[in-house]
Structure 1
């Protein structure tokens, strides 16, 4: 028997980056048994990789040989979000949170430079060395890289390993620099700004200013410059802090996007494959949590989930509660599934809030949901998703064909807010109160999206149209097929 071809996925631990890698590794595992799958990341991701292997093994009949599990390689050091939080002595969400607009965007650019610096020089070199060791040990035919995992980019470059980029980000985020006629300045809203699309003429000067301020933030970033100097002293050439598809056209890029679900892009390079939303294969909610499935079946349901990085304090939870109460008062029969993680476990106010809502009966608060969120969103009774504007949340909701209410808090989250409003599939729930939210503003927005009206019916119709386009062929299958071609 011929030896299996080896494939190595190399990614940061954070769910926003890792989810697309997990979804594609699952597809490879189940559909291409001639490939041996390896996964290198920080230890916190290992349980999720193990879960992917377990889920893949359940596909085969009991008498058939089991799926070979993914081989995990744990990397030393802290994840990038833990590193950023430690640098500022606070949580990642507090370090990155900023308002929209010119002043808020400029504020965020100072943090983007620090994010790009990521690990201090010494820890960076340790992670780099560990990745290089994994590549030499595994000797993969192909490495699938998270493009913001810079030590991995450097290791593949220096060892001349063949690699491709698999990003969770949409087209505009990664292709805007390659657009003709200087469109980056006058056509597309600057990151972190929250500017609408099409960009109004009166905002173009501010947009140009922000693009230059963004570039300047990298040039003047003290932590990034100090790290670069440290690496040079140790004879290590640093890779650019962010890669784009135009940097090296010999490198293939796989994006979970389609022209129909992003801002209009003039030029897509030949080395870019637009896969469509890359979402993990999921079992129906009833197969995982029968009691939750029964609760969902009671009536129209709104899902509130602000992502894995966000933690509520008492003030933000009370504002959300106020918005929920407005929704329940004005839309009879609707219920709410609220995924809520607090800054501190089992604090007094969390217990009181859960008790209050349990008595209400139309709101269910869960710290953790065992079923895949994509499966929950795909449930027949779910009519809207309230989320933070993360790429995974956006793509899961658009695949499910439901309108979205977005509460952006930092950087690219504001871009996804612009997308849903431009596409007519949702609304910005905190336009006047971001990066937080006002109970009245959010409550009114949720009502507008879910009540029976011409506006909501138009959103529902458009969301279903885009869902059909996304589901013509699942993104993880497109990505897996392209990877096999490269192998």
Structure 2
């Protein structure tokens, strides 16, 4: 009996990120009961995890129960607070001012989230992950990108994986917007500026954005820890900085958001998979707290929940109580059913809301009438409370879970942002017409003079009815096409199927393939000069050859590597006739080429940077010959180049073994124009490794597979059996051992 497909989920334990994983598990257990799910996280999520899985098991009683692998060590938030007890105070800084120290402190704190552990703890966690990986041997992995040890494992072991995030589309695509809009149109994180940024705030927005970015990428602590970990492990680590800030993610990203709920974006990168809000389901209130269910049914309720991390000192709680007093005093019998308050208050310090306290003195009448309930913990899930139908206003901090739970429930919101990444939530609420900002000048604290009027506007004001109607409309948008968690689970299953379809295919041998299906293998040319390559007479290849000839061969006295010239030619760049000048085919500009001929590959990025973010960049950036989506990575370009121009050698000195490249095999199955398997030794991998890869017809373009010879043979057989209606190009993104390559080569030569 074949073993079940295995999925590995790697996540931090903080609910802001982990909730979407728990929601996905709920759906995966129903969609694929035989899927074997393994979850890796820290101890402080265990209680919530088991509760979520128990609830999911009721909906899918025949599903395999997920396996929880508990990591030893401190979680992200535990480490951050242990190192700096005032960490969350720093993260609450608002960046709308000119103080560079505030911006730098917030940026460095953000960098700390990317890599919170010191070197010893990081290595210890990584070693545990290695052991879990060896035990589980997953078919596919889903990763929380803020879990740096997990990301390092995925990259080091070349796992098939995707990133899974509750973030907005804007956060992941703002750098791809045309004409530098990231700086002048979209508010910088933490500023709280309106969208689009008003003209008079544009200079400050640019200043904050650049200052934050520079402080983030130059964080000395992060650099030191990364260096120490590298010295211990022997290889570089991958964090959000390397994988998502300095470059766009190189793997697909499943997002718990959808474009209609975000600031309008001109360009949404192909690597994003927005699924819509992902809300973790839970039992109805009647199952967990029937007393609360009856209490909610008494009247309209304002629900206050500031998340799991925000704690209120007594003076702040008093301000909130005064704001509630202002709202309650405005209620009249003509407004309908009585108004009541459900306040989940997590306290900082020793105080209470009991008789004799400051809070009691402000809300005494309503507390005595049981119309105000203040508790530090509620058994019912926030989503269940919001979906009860009795909540008329959600007061929250704008965190992903709180924001989307209220949106999906169709409840208007008063948002009091407290962290630097939550200041955009009230602006989105205003843009969508579903709420307002409750502390625009007092944030991250709250002041009664601001929160009170905001509550009155949303609950009782002249636009309150309109806001409630709009909230219901937005709730319908949230589930258009299906629940976000269902769509995310289907995306994950799609990736798993793409991975396992080839590796679990019937193992057909050479004898099972018709001998006359393919013509004999031909030898390839060793000529590495693209301008003179002996190619077919196709128009696309000839056009590329002409562009290649037009491009300057050197810059500032240094030769431009042929593979770089090829990359430019195959995407439409061409020379202008003037020395050292290359014109962008999308916008017609002549970007600075300062780094084009730099012999250091890590600095040869400026022109690629322009091309990737050109304001008029074509929506599909694919090779003009085969149509496969391309990557700016130097090794990818080299391998793809060899697939089209056999024998092209690496002139960059990047470590590829120039004289050891095995021949490129070409053949034509069932009348297809051309199928190419390109195999190249790569000295950057372990000795004896070689690279082979994906086909455009059988594996998603963004999938990165560690393929065995058997897996590639199955791909070839599948292409033959399916008739290969389109040209199939196998480009290079995966690792194969040398002995596997010899097996594959014998197979192809036998065909």
TM tier, shorter chain?
Answer: over 0.9
Do the aligned residues in 1 keep the contact of 2:145 with 2:239 (CA within 8 Å)? Answer: no
Shift of 1:264: 0.7
Shift of 1:256: 1.1
Q: In the alignment, which residue of structure 2 is the partner of 1:140?
A: 138
Equivalent in 417, 423, 426 of residue 408 of structure 1: 417
Do the aligned residues in 2 keep the contact of 1:403 with 1:460 (CA within 8 Å)? Answer: yes
CA separation in 2, counterparts of 1:266 and 1:74?
Answer: 42
CA separation in 2, counterparts of 1:236 and 1:318?
Answer: 52
Q: Is 1:338 the equivalent of 2:343? A: yes
Q: Is 1:462 the equivalent of 2:470? A: yes
Q: In the alignment, which residue of structure 2 is the partner of 1:37?
A: 37
Q: Decide which moves more: 333-342 or 234-243.
A: 234-243
Equivalent in 449, 456, 477 of residue 458 of structure 2: 449
Superposed CA deviations along residues 366-410 of structure 1, whole A, max 9, x for unmatched, are: 222212111111121111100011011111111111111111112
Q: In the alignment, which residue of structure 1 is the partner of 2:440?
A: 431
| 1:337 partner SS | strand
Shift of 1:426: 0.9
CA distance 1:246–1:338, shift in 2 (3 Å): same
Do the aligned residues in 2 keep the contact of 1:154 with 1:239 (CA within 8 Å)? Answer: yes
Report the TM-score when normalising by structure 2. 0.61
Equivalent residues in 2 for 1:196-211, closer than 5 Å: 196-211=194-209
Q: In the alignment, which residue of structure 1 is the partner of 2:175?
A: 177
Q: Is 1:96 the equivalent of 2:91? A: yes
Equivalent in 57, 76, 82 of residue 80 of structure 1: 76
Shift of 1:216: 1.2
Q: Is 1:485 the equivalent of 2:502? A: no
Q: In the alignment, which residue of structure 1 is the partner of 2:380?
A: 371
Do the aligned residues in 1 keep the contact of 2:115 with 2:239 (CA within 8 Å)? Answer: no
Q: What 5-or-longer segments of structure 1 have no aligned partner?
A: none
CA separation in 2, counterparts of 1:470 and 1:11?
Answer: 25
User: May I ask how many residue pairs the two structures share in their alignment?
Assistant: 479
CA separation in 2, counterparts of 1:247 and 1:216?
Answer: 14
Superposed CA deviations along residues 160-214 of structure 1, whole A, max 9, x for unmatched, are: 1111111011111122122222121111100111111111111111111112111
Superposed CA deviations along residues 51-85 of structure 1, whole A, max 9, x for unmatched, are: 1221122225xxxx643321011112211111111
Shift of 1:293: 0.9
CA distance 1:146–1:407, shift in 2 (3 Å): same
Shift of 1:132: 2.1
Do the aligned residues in 2 keep the contact of 1:326 with 1:440 (CA within 8 Å)? Answer: no
CA separation in 2, counterparts of 1:381 and 1:465?
Answer: 17
Q: Is 1:51 the equivalent of 2:59? A: no
Q: What 5-or-longer segments of structure 2 have no aligned partner?
A: 333-337, 497-751
Q: In the alignment, which residue of structure 1 is the partner of 2:509?
A: none
Superposed CA deviations along residues 7-66 of structure 1, whole A, max 9, x for unmatched, are: 111101101000000000111112211201110001111222211221122225xxxx64
CA separation in 2, counterparts of 1:30 and 1:56?
Answer: 8
Superposed CA deviations along residues 291-334 of structure 1, whole A, max 9, x for unmatched, are: 11111111111110000011122111111111111111112421
Q: In the alignment, which residue of structure 1 is the partner of 2:261?
A: 261
Say what the alpha-carbon RMSD is for the aligned residues: 2.0
Shift of 1:115: 2.9
Equivalent in 136, 149, 152 of residue 151 of structure 1: 149
| 1:83 partner SS | helix
CA separation in 1, counterparts of 2:426 and 2:128?
Answer: 38
Q: Is 1:471 the equivalent of 2:514? A: no
